[in-house]
Amino acid sequence: MNQVLVRPKILNCKKLKNMTINELSKEQFTELKWRYLDKIYQEETNESISLGEIAEIDNIISDEEILNEYSNYVFSDDDFFCTANQD
Residue type, 62: S
pLDDT of residue 80: 85
Q: What is the DSSP letter of 59?
A: H
Mean per-residue pLDDT, 15-36: 90
Q: Which are the contacts of 47, defined by CB distance < 8 A and separation ≥ 6? A: 41
Domain ranges of the chain: 27-79
Q: What percent of the chain has pLDDT over 70?
A: 76
| pLDDT tens digits, one per residue of 40-53 | 999 999 999 999 99
The pLDDT of residue 11 is above 80: no
The sign of the torsion formed by the CA atoms of 38, 44, 47, 52 equals: negative
pLDDT of residue 15: 66
| pLDDT tens digits, one per residue of 57-82 | 999 999 999 999 999 999 988 888 77
